[in-house]
Amino acid sequence: MSTKAELSPGNTQAVSPEKSSGQIQIVEFVLENEHFAIDLFDVKEVVEYTTITKLPNVPPYVRGIIDLRGEITTIVDLKHRLNIRGENANPPETSRIIVLDDAITASKVGILVDDVTSVSTFESTHVDYTSASISHEDTAIIGIIKRRIRVRDRETHELIIWIDIKKLLGDLDAVR
């Protein structure tokens, strides 16, 4: 099966490989010591940390703006947005900025994360969608991805929290 979006002569809408093959493609990153993921197709690029200029009168999770190759990019501190507090006091210089795709944002937006670990493909059967509904509040968690890993000759699961970045940042004017 081809992994490219396919068009048939009578069909003007692309069929997403993610939907047609039962696979999901994600960008995995770390916040404190927890693993998170967003859809690969929501990401334009990953860049190293650069100095962020603070802005007045913005929501507390908006860290500020950067000049990314001549374009002003708003930076959202994802740990603050998700209310993740921890002891991990990594220097900001070791952080990464995931720049979101222009198709989901009205203006340039990047999310600040501790580290980007991989781009991965999982079968949709490895996603637990029911865990996302634990909270009765409106949540941006799509599901929990279970990845098999070996630790000391024992097989176990590592959990990756898959979030809907569009829903999470929906209150920003910059998100479509």
- Count of C-beta atoms within a 10 Å radius of residue 75: 25
Per the DSSP assignment, residues forming a β-bridge with 144 are 128, 161
| Sequence-separated (6 or more) residues with CB below 8 Å from residue 123 | 22, 23, 24
Q: How far apart are CA 33 and CA 49, in angstroms?
A: 19
Q: What is the CATH number of domain 20-168?
A: 2.40.50.180
This prediction has a pTM of: 0.81
Mean pLDDT by 10 residues, the chain (176 residues): 32 36 90 95 96 94 95 94 80 91 90 96 89 64 87 84 92 62
